[in-house]
Chain A
Amino acid sequence: MSTPTRTPTIRTLRLHIDWVACDGRGMCTELLPELLTEDPWGYPAPVRLHGRDPLPPNGIPVQDDLEPQARAAVAACPLMALRLERG
């Protein structure tokens, strides 16, 4: 029996969208085009790097180098519908 390799747990920064609060104002898709695009109705949708990746159920992973842009998007949302969390 093999034992799982123990890796240091560096928790990924994830972007969560509150779909009830979101009204599709579009600030986030402008500030964070690397991660977010607009769906046909103007709501933010994650950019699918591989075309058909399903949306991760626990938020969109944010690479470290995009953290400043992600924080700007969170701050710019007039409806406070975005939040960043490690997890």
Chain B
Amino acid sequence: MTALDLSAPDHTTMATRLLLPDATDLLSHDRRHGAVPYRGGPGILIESLESAGLTGRGGAAFPTWRKVASTAAAAGGGHRAAVVIANGAEGEPASSKDAVLLGMAPHLVLDGVQLAAEAVGADRAAVYVEAGPAMTAVMRALAERKGTGRDRVRMQLVEAPTGFVSGEESAAVAAVEGRPALPRTKRRLVTESGVDRRPTLVQNVETLAHVALIARYGSAWFRSAGTATEPGTFLATMGGAVAAPGVAEAPQGILLADLLALAGGPSRRLGAVLVGGYHGAWVPAAALATTPMSRAGLAAFGATPGAGIVWALPASQCPLVAASLIVTYLAGQSARQCGPCLFGLPALAADLARLADPRAAGGLDRLPGQLAALAETITGRGACRHPDGTVRFVHSTLRTFADEVAAHGRGQCLGDHR
């Protein structure tokens, strides 16, 4: 059936599933993976997704089968046509895995869209992606599929504006509806009421590529990589002080040190690694050799794998300066819709910037307490999770670099002595 048998023994532990070389154009994709394995009706694929244990790769790690099942249920077995959105909007500057995936394996993603559409009972789908190489790759792939009979559901290309929050689920729904891509207050779940109030499944493009593989090679095959509780592979974007920054595919649960080795390893002595992106949390360098990239392994640091971002901070750089730059950026990325985010994040950024400069005017010793109070005021008060994610990062910074925070309170910076 397939030219390359991915279930063959020498491939069972292979961590390269999504980013296979030479599977980009439709002909080579088809030669390697074959036709779209349609199941013949809504709901049928859900069982495979559940036994595979696939979770969303956009950051929240929500079980994919549950999202598919609730969308399918809301659609009532095709009674109300649902909509599928392939979310390729990675507004996070530290992430490029979705763009790399769409560039290398666009047909895997589009096959996943078709299979998800069948599973939920959708009659239309949208690929939501930023302008640039990723969009060009999708356009080319859609053109290749035209007239081949491969697709049962029409797929529309929708441009995602650049920006941190444009990939948020309700922002993606708004964009597909032709409105500004802004998060909105969700009175009902998007799976029940999304695009034009129809049941809507929004899945990250990497998640959909995994769906396309699970449908072909099965859940046992999927589980042959990763851990028992967090199976499969994931795409990581690695940056900062690593020798070869970029995107790599690895089994879930890989030790952070081994993951960094896939990016050539640290280029300088590291102080810490930011895991999960700008809404993520820090893991100190001393823990890299023993900490797995998994929800279970990262829980001790208040971190999660998120969308697979790993950013290495060199020991020579003051972590509070780095954190301050990130929070200033995040404050600027507010959609400016919700007061606590619009005013709270700049206040948070200003306090952190003061703390980052130990030579600034006095009163620095009171800043950590002030920051914590501000963080608490902001939490949970927005249409989306942008304020909460920013607060999580600030908390992690104060916790991980408590020594540095204390030193700055005394008017010193530990970085000065490194």
- Contacts between the two chains (Cβ within 8 Å), count: 52
Within the complex, the shortest CB–CB distance from B398 to chain A, in Å, comes to 15
**Contact status B376-A52, CB under 8 Å:** yes
**Contact status A22-B339, CB under 8 Å:** yes
- Provide the bound-state CA to CA distance between A24 and B379, in Å: 17
The listed residue (A23, A52, A54, A56) touching B339 by CB distance below 8 A is A23
Within the complex, the shortest CB–CB distance from A63 to chain B, in Å, comes to 20
**Contact status A19-B347, CB under 8 Å:** no
**Contact status B376-A19, CB under 8 Å:** no
The interface residues of chain A, by DSSP majority, are classed as loop
- Say whether, besides A19-B338, A41-B343, A54 and B376 are in contact (CB < 8 Å): yes
- Provide the bound-state CA to CA distance between A55 and B347, in Å: 20
Residues of B contacting A52 with CB < 8 Å?
376
Interface check B344, CB cutoff 8 A: yes
Within the complex, the shortest CB–CB distance from A32 to chain B, in Å, comes to 16
**Contact status B339-A43, CB under 8 Å:** yes
Residues of B contacting A45 with CB < 8 Å?
340, 377, 381
Interface check A34, CB cutoff 8 A: no
**Contact status A21-B185, CB under 8 Å:** yes
- Say whether, besides A18-B185, A19-B185, A21-B185, A55 and B379 are in contact (CB < 8 Å): yes
**Contact status B380-A57, CB under 8 Å:** yes
**Contact status A19-B184, CB under 8 Å:** no
Within the complex, the shortest CB–CB distance from A47 to chain B, in Å, comes to 12
Residues of A contacting B340 with CB < 8 Å?
19, 39, 41, 43, 45
- Say whether, besides A41-B339, A41-B340, A19 and B379 are in contact (CB < 8 Å): no
Interface check B326, CB cutoff 8 A: no
Residues of A contacting B377 with CB < 8 Å?
39-40, 45
Residues of A contacting B185 with CB < 8 Å?
18-21
Residues of A contacting B379 with CB < 8 Å?
54-55
Interface check B382, CB cutoff 8 A: yes
**Contact status A40-B339, CB under 8 Å:** no
Question: What range describes how many residues of B lie at the interface?
Answer: 10 to 19
Interface check B383, CB cutoff 8 A: yes
Interface check B267, CB cutoff 8 A: no
Which among A45, A56, A57 has the greatest number of chain B C-beta atoms within 10 A?
A: A45
Question: What range describes how many residues of A lie at the interface?
Answer: 10 to 19
Interface check A17, CB cutoff 8 A: yes
Which among A20, A39, A42 has the greatest number of chain B C-beta atoms within 10 A?
A: A20
Closest residue of chain B to A57, judged by CB?
B380
Closest residue of chain A to B378, judged by CB?
A39
Closest residue of chain B to A85, judged by CB?
B187
The listed residue (B184, B347, B380) touching A20 by CB distance below 8 A is B184
**Contact status B383-A41, CB under 8 Å:** no
Closest residue of chain B to A52, judged by CB?
B376
**Contact status B344-A41, CB under 8 Å:** yes
Give the 4 A-B CB pairs with smallest separation, nearest first: A19-B338, A55-B380, A43-B339, A41-B343
Given contacts A19-B338, A20-B383, 20 further A-B contacts (CB under 8 A): A19-B185, A19-B340, A19-B341, A20-B338, A23-B339, A39-B340, A39-B344, A40-B343, A41-B339, A42-B339, A43-B339, A43-B340, A43-B343, A45-B340, A45-B381, A54-B379, A55-B379, A55-B380, A56-B380, A57-B380
Pull 7 A–B residue pairs with CB atoms less than 8 Å apart, ordered by A: A19-B337, A19-B383, A22-B339, A39-B340, A39-B381, A54-B376, A55-B381
Binding site for A on B (CB under 8 A): 183-185, 337-341, 343-344, 347, 376-377, 379-383
